[in-house]
Amino acid sequence: MNREGKEPVIAVDGLTKVFGRFTAVDRLRFNVERGEIFGFLGPNGAGKSTTIRMLCGLLSSTAGTATVGGYDINRDPEAVRQNIGYMSQKFSLYKDLTVAENIAFFGGVYGLARPRLRERAGAVVRLAGLDGLEDRLAGTLSGAHQQRLALGCAILHEPPILFLDEPTSGVDPISRRHFWDLIQDLAGRGVTILVTTHFMDEAEFCGRIGFISGGRLVALDTPAAIKRDAVREDLYEVSLADMQRARERVEAVPGVVATSYFGRHLHVFGRPGELTAEGLGRALAEGGMTVNSVERVPVSLEDAFIRLAATGREAAA
């Protein structure tokens, strides 16, 4: 139960998936509320798609429970599937069918009667900006149009819950923005959305983020709170020419726990209170390097991602 006394739309408790001897998803526990956009982040192989497939009633769990829209994913997967829309990581369109045929196919899968299908097909074509393209083979559409058609097919039956697995991979930045406008519209109308992405700008649009690494949930909070709290280290940004050499030098400085390239800068993570900008600058100068600047900077979502992924790997090892 949440604060308002309502059941969460997605409730996950101890959810686990083991393939052979490999634990892909490890005792996940989180809830998602109605109308929330919940971002699922984590490195390749972290277990995001496996979790989504279990929550969609497409893959049984090894242990733990979850309810989606009030239905148990293991006991009632058919009811779960009727209540959700799912956009898989590789868009599940039929490339050798036309736009209209794809929509009709998914309409059949969701059991829409003819008049409703006609009405919804029109709505989906308009929403996806596919007017005039109804007779084009899906495989000949641009990446952005394929993506919007895939979303359209996933919401054909107006599901209250949507699972979107990397819906914007391979789509240009302007089309990604347009796509997120659609997502935010749906959430505004009460649709609950769980979405995975590797784009940090998109993660910022999420109400909350669950960060998964090595199958485990290693952080769960709003983007602002993750930036503020998830990394318990001080971050310094170093600007200089020879980043590779600087990285080796800096990693030998006591108190430094990690470094990463950040655009044209080097990011240096230090144990709290153990580093100073002057100290880092001095260490580099003593190594014969010309430093343009060293400054303490706030943790960005990308920094948090990098550190959470690393600490998740260490914990799982």
Ligand X SMILES: Nc1ncnc2c1ncn2[C@@H]1O[C@H](COP(=O)(O)OP(=O)(O)OP(=O)(O)O)[C@@H](O)[C@H]1O
Q: Is the dihedral of CA 239, 245, 248, 250 positive or negative?
A: negative
Give the shortest CB-9-to-ligand X separation in angstroms.
22
- Cα 295 to Cα 238: distance, rounded to the nearest angstrom: 7
- CB of 18 vs ligand X, minimal distance in Å: 9
Strand order in the sheet with 216-221: 84-87, 161-165, 192-196, 37-41, 208-213, 216-221
- Pick from 49, 61, 98, 175 the residue near Mg ion by CB under 5 A: 49
Give the nearer residue to ligand X in terms of CB position, either 19 or 232: 19
Spatial contact of 275 and 255, defined as CB atoms under 8 Å apart = yes
Give min distance, CB of 88 to Mg ion, in A.
9
CB of 180 closer than 8 Å to CB of 154: no
Q: Does 50 bind Mg ion (CB under 5 A)?
A: no
Nearest 5°: CA angle at 186, between 165 and 117? 90
Q: In what order do the strands lie in the sheet with 22-32?
A: 22-32, 10-19, 63-68, 71-72
Which of 47, 312 has the CB closer to ligand X? 47
With contacts defined by CB under 5 A, how many residues of the chain interact with Mg ion?
3
CA 229 to chain centre: 19
- Nearest residue (CB) to ligand X, 8 versus 42: 42
Q: Is 98 in the site for Mg ion (CB under 5 A)?
A: no
Pick one of ligand X, Mg ion, none as the site partner of residue 24 (Cβ within 5 to 8 A by kind).
ligand X
Stretch that binds Mg ion, among 49-57, 94-102, 187-195, 271-279 (CB under 5 A): 49-57
> Cα(first)–Cα(last) distance of the chain, in Å?
34
* Cβ closest to ligand X, residue 44 vs residue 290: 44
213 binds Mg ion (CB under 5 A): no
Query: Of the two residues 31 and 50, which places its CB atom closer to ligand X in the complex?
Result: 50
Burial-class residue 35 by CB neighbours within 10 Å (0-12, 13-18, 19+). Answer: middle
Closest CA to 208 of 66, 55, 8: 8
Q: Out of Mg ion, ligand X, none, which partner does residue 261 contact, by CB within 5 to 8 A per kind?
A: none
Q: How far is the CB of 47 from Mg ion (least distance, A)?
A: 8
Q: Which does 61 bind (CB under 5 to 8 A by kind): ligand X, Mg ion, none?
A: none
Q: Which helix (H) or strand (E) holds 312?
A: helix 301-316
Residue 249 touches which member of Mg ion, ligand X, none, C-beta under 5-8 Å by kind: none
- For residue 174, give Cα distances in angstroms to 59, 133, 235: 34, 20, 31
Q: Which residues bind to ligand X, rule: CB under 6 A?
A: 19, 24, 42, 44-50, 89
Output 45 or 139, the one with its CB closest to ligand X.
Answer: 45
CA distance 167 to 10: 20
The angle formed by the CA atoms of residues 138, 176 and 82, to the nearest 5 degrees, is 60
173 contacts which partner out of Mg ion, ligand X, none, CB within 5 to 8 A by kind?
Answer: none
Is 21 or 114 the residue whose CB approaches ligand X more closely? 21
- Nearest residue to Mg ion by CB is 49
Q: 44 touches which of ligand X, Mg ion, none (CB within 5 to 8 A by kind)? A: ligand X
**In the structure encoding, which two tokens stand for residue 88, read together?**
């898989």
The interface partner of residue 244, options being ligand X, Mg ion, none and the CB cut-off 5 to 8 Å by kind, is none
Rank residues 111 and 170 by Cβ distance to ligand X and give the closer one. Answer: 170
**Which residues of this chain interact with Mg ion, rule CB under 5 A?**
48-49, 89
